[in-house]
Structure 1
Amino acid sequence: MNLPKLPDPDKSGFFYQVTSPGTGNNFKNPDSVLYNLTVKSLSTGAAYLQSPLLSNLGTFVGYTDQFYNSSLVTTSNPQGFYSIPAIRTALLALKPGGVARILLPSYLAFGRNGAGNIPSNEIVDLIVTTYPYQKQALLDDNRITTFLTSKGLTATKDPSGIYYIVNTLGTGEAVNGIGSTVNVKYTGRTLDGAVFDSSADGLSLTLSGLVSGWQIMIPKFKVGTKFRMILPSAYAYGRSGFNTISPNTSLDFDIEIVSVTN
């Protein structure tokens, strides 16, 4: 394999290559970085991990030597955190939008125990892809506007950053606020169209117990309204995610307000 590498004056034991430098200034430890990871076997090319394309990892550069993935939770590592300082080293050589490839010996990766579907003593080939945005809200907005354009949809942007489309404007009782309980029919999807939750028959929900995007948008409308809203991740499940929803994922909802108890 002919892989040009940057010098390793610290004798770190791993090799990395900046395959695309990005633009602007190099990342520094206090900077925010939004990025994705791909982990493959160096010997076979088998893919072990791939960040979901419609979400991303995000933290301060100085914290990126701690690597987490829920699929890597094991009895020997129940928290699913692994120390891989090579990620931070490579990021410090990049600018926003840059990409780096890292070749990691097993003792600097997942060791003799392996993790998830990564075997024991596996040398891994890791790709770090950063986004040109350093704020999650900007990346989410780009994803949402790209989604709307691809679907030929025209939406209104709320001051919060939430996009919405009113299909039927209701004339019934108003929703007073987040203390209200609403009966709604809804479908929730990720931006690739995958449905993660729905209620065709109607479900009663108290707004105060829901994600903030619902708390912001539902009180803007009256009973009988049917609308669609696309939530930036901060107004959905944020950096933590929830069940099958990955961290930093924007969500797409169809909602009908059936009734309200204020």
Structure 2
Amino acid sequence: MKSVCMALFIVLFVSCSSDDENSNKDYTLENQEEILSYIATNGIDAIGTDSGLYYVIDKMGEGNAITADSDVSVKYKGYFTDGSVFDENTESGVTFNLQGVIEGWQEGIPLFNEGGSGLLIIPAHLAYGSNSFNGIPGGSVLIFEIEILDYNALNKQEIEDYIAENELNAMSTASGLYYVIEEQGEGEKPTSTSSVTVNYEGYFTDGEIFAERSSNLNLEIEDILEGWQEGLQLLNEGGTMKLLIPSELGYGLYDYSVIPGGSVTIFDIELVDVN
């Protein structure tokens, strides 16, 4: 998963060229006619909002509700009413905060839950206005096919597949953390405010190592990944465990160093000392 860096989704209306001869033209009625014609011609069962946005929910999604300031990951294809594509990312998708995208996405994406998919038909005043922008002519109606990724569900399935393939005797917690205690240990059990010394190695479900084994690393539990915070408190000093951590309890939706956003991360950990 790559975090969004293209100009398409960043609201930069002020940077659009003011030399466009139609820069002050009101396209509202023209766009409305274009959208209604497109809907009728293609037999689309679309719903309109007071703002002028039209949308189709093919799948509502069973994941978390999306709010105005959510971070979301979306696969999409963007095109004009004549069918010509101006941008797409249907492979890995892009991740962004809704506050940083065009108004049509700000309004449209929260109509779905994570895991949802559908269509957004966006008039110019909810997109790039009357100015040409990044190859998009001023006054353009934009259509987006969207799929909102539900990484909670995707990560859960990935972890459970890994557990089955590797025949692990894993347990899960209410948070979504999975773990295998290999040796419980006989020493002190850490708390949320403990300092600990650990040996560990980190890798993905495909076996690729992203963190070579580190020896006698000193950590404050309250400063580490949520998955580690929860998992280490299940172990006693001298114990060893495997943590299978969904992205929500790990590195999140955005790329972090060599770890792609949305990744499941696995750690083999030895709890050497509790301080």
TM-score (norm 2): 0.57
Is the partner of 1:217 in helix, strand or coil? helix
Match of 1:129 among 144, 147, 162: 147
Q: Which residue of 1 aligns with 2:228?
A: 214
| Aligned residue number for residue 260 of structure 1 | 273
Match 1:85 to one of 104, 109, 118: 104
Determine the structure 2 residue equivalent to 1:71.
none
- Could you tell me how far 1:241 is from its partner in structure 2? 7.4
1:183 aligned to which of 167, 184, 197: 197
1:16–1:100: 8 Å Cα contact kept in structure 2? yes
What CA RMSD, in Å, does the superposition of the two structures yield over aligned residues?
Answer: 4.7
Q: Map of 1:1-262 to 2, 5 A cutoff?
A: 3-7=42-46, 16-18=55-57, 20-22=58-60, 36-42=73-79, 43-44=84-85, 47-48=88-89, 67=98, 81-86=100-105, 88-89=107-108, 92=111, 98-104=116-122, 108-109=126-127, 119-121=134-136, 126-130=144-148, 141-158=156-173, 160-171=175-186, 173-191=187-205, 193=207, 195-237=209-251, 250-257=264-271, 259-262=272-275
Work out the CA distance in 2 between the residues paired with 1:9 and 1:109.
16
Change (3 A) 1:249 1:3: farther
Contact 1:99 1:128 survives alignment (8 Å)? yes
SS of 1:220 mapped into structure 2: coil
* Cα separation, partners in 2 of 1:17 and 1:219, compared to 1, 3 Å: closer
How big is each residue's C-alpha offset from its partner over 1:86-117, in whole Å with a ceiling of 9 and x where there is no partner?
Answer: 5644763x688542033557764467685xxx
Q: Contact 1:187/1:199 (CA < 8 Å) preserved in 2?
A: yes
**Distance in 2 between the 1:160 and 1:141 partners?**
11
Counterpart AA for 1:38: K
Deviation digits for residues 54-74 of structure 1 (CA, Å, limit 9, x no counterpart): xx88xxxxxxxx736xxxxxx
Q: What's the % identity of the aligned pairs? A: 20
> Compared with structure 1, are the counterparts of its residues 35 and 128 closer, same or farther at alpha carbon in structure 2 (3 Å cutoff)?
farther
| Higher-Rg member (1/2) | 2
Structure 1 position 82, deviation (Å): 1.7
**Structure 1 residues 255 and 95, CA gap change in structure 2 (3 angstroms):** closer
**More displaced, 158-167 or 243-252?**
243-252
Q: 2:28 aligns to what?
A: none
Is the 1:179–1:208 Cα contact (8 Å) retained in structure 2? yes
Contact 2:189 2:233 in 1 (8 A): yes
Structure 2 regions of 5+ residues with no counterpart?
A: 1-37
Deviation sequence 1:159-181 (CA, Å, 0-9, x none): 5542111234434x324423333
Deviation of 1:155 after TM superposition, in Å, equals 0.5
- Is the 2:244–2:267 contact (alpha carbons within 8 Å) kept by the matching residues of 1? yes
Separation in structure 2 between the aligned mates of residue 95 and residue 221 of structure 1, nearest angstrom: 36
- Counterparts in 2 of 1:137 and 1:101: CA distance versus 1, 3 Å: closer
AA in 1 matched with 2:198 = V
Q: Which runs of no fewer than 5 residues in structure 1 stay unpaired?
A: 58-65, 69-80
Q: Distance in 2 between matches of 1:175 and 1:222?
A: 4
Separation in 2, partners of 1:41, 1:6: 19
Q: Is the 8 A contact 1:82 1:110 kept in 2?
A: no
